[in-house]
């Protein structure tokens, strides 16, 4: 029996959900509780200036992607990630849990405390579209916005939201690897498409009315660094899934 592209995406999202909720790992409850306490404090710092007011404009009406991106990235920057890393590292070392396994507890806690959009953005225009910008996608929980209709900048409904994937590019001058969050959508015929633009801005959007109660701000773990385990490899935070073919 063959598996459709959409089924593959949903299976991937479900697998991510299992990992995020800690169901794929056997981490002791006391360790989970210690991690959860640190993550809760981090979220309290991040959401200090929420909700951010967003205005809409254009036709179709789209919420200002610049304001949304600035709000989310500024919130993430409010967290002292060096301190968070040090505290988590201490717990990981004392517990003796391998860094990669320990990160499952961190990811589970980060997902558990993801903030719904009605607590993140203050929007008066209920008919506006939430732009699927790279930053919006960067902070989007893997189980959020799935199956919501996606509208392009011309006002055409192109399909339904089918998950996030990563696009990597190496800078020509700096040589540094840049990672962008993109998305996929499924058209009316069940065919899976990738978002055409690498720099999304306000190229696509979903209804704010449909998105407002869904979880929207889930802090990634890309700034958390753990100590190398004896004989092991450096812990690597789980990455955004790559594009599915």
Does residue 238 fall inside a structural domain?
no
Domain that holds residue 121: 5-217
Look at residue 178 and tell me if it is in a domain. yes
Residue 231 Ramachandran class (φ > 0 left, ψ -120 to 50 alpha, else beta): left
| Bridge pairing between strands 177-186 and 157-170 | antiparallel
Helix and strand counts by DSSP (H, E) for the chain: 8, 12
Residue 37, domain member (yes or no): yes
Q: What is the pLDDT along the chain (245 residues), one digit of tens a residue?
A: 333 334 334 433 444 444 444 443 478 999 999 999 999 999 999 999 999 999 999 999 999 999 999 999 999 999 999 999 999 999 999 999 999 999 999 999 999 999 999 999 999 999 999 999 999 999 999 999 999 999 999 999 999 999 999 877 665 665 566 678 999 999 999 999 998 777 899 999 999 999 999 999 999 999 999 865 444 444 444 445 555 54
pLDDT of residue 172: 61
C-alpha 36: how far from chain center: 18
In a domain, 138, yes or no: yes
Q: What is the pLDDT of residue 173?
A: 62
Burial of 183 (0-12, 13-18, 19+ CB in 10 A): buried
SS3 131: strand
CA atoms of 195 and 39, how far apart (whole Å): 32
Quick check: is 235 in a domain? Answer: no
Give a yes or no: residue 34 inside a domain. Answer: yes
Task: Decide: helix, strand or coil at residue 218.
Answer: coil
Q: Where do we find the tokens 């889930």?
A: 218
Query: By C-alpha distance, which of 126, 136, 3 is closest to 68?
Result: 136
In a domain, 110, yes or no: yes
The total number of structural domains in the chain stands at 1
- In a domain, residue 237? The reply is no
16 CB-near residues (< 8 Å, 6+ apart) = 142, 143, 241
Q: CA-CA distance, 27 to 157, in Å (whole number)?
A: 43
Find, among 65, 44, 200, the residue nearest to 121 by Cα.
65
Task: Please give the Cα distance from 226 to 144 (Å, whole number).
Answer: 28
Taking the C-alpha atoms of residue 185 and residue 188, their distance in angstroms, rounded to an integer, is 10
């Amino acid at each position: 029996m063959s598996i459709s592209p959409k089924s593959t995406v949903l299976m991937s999202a479900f697998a991510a959900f299992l990992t995020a909720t800690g169901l794929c790992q056997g981490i002791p409850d006391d360790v989970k509780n210690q991690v959860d306490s640190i993550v809760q404090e981090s979220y309290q710092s991040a959401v200090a200036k929420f909700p951010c007011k967003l205005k809409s404009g254009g036709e179709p009406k789209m919420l200002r992607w610049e304001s949304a991106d600035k709000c989310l990235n500024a919130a993430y920057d409010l967290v002292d990630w060096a301190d968070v890393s040090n505290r988590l590292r201490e717990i990981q070392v004392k517990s003796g849990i391998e860094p990669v396994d320990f990160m499952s507890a961190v990811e589970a806690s980060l997902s558990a405390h993801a903030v719904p959009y009605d607590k993140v953005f203050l929007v008066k225009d209920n008919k506006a579209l939430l732009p699927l910008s790279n930053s919006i996608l960067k902070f989007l929980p893997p189980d959020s916005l799935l199956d919501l209709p996606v509208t392009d900048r011309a006002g055409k409904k192109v399909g339904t939201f089918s998950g996030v994937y990563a696009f990597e590019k190496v800078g020509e001058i700096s040589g540094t690897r840049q990672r962008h969050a993109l998305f996929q959508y499924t058209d009316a015929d069940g065919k899976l498409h990738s978002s055409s633009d690498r720099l999304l801005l306000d190229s696509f959007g979903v209804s704010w009315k449909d998105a407002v109660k869904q979880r929207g701000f889930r802090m990634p773990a890309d700034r958390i660094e753990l100590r190398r385990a004896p004989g092991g490899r450096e812990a690597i935070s789980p990455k955004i899934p790559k594009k599915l073919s």
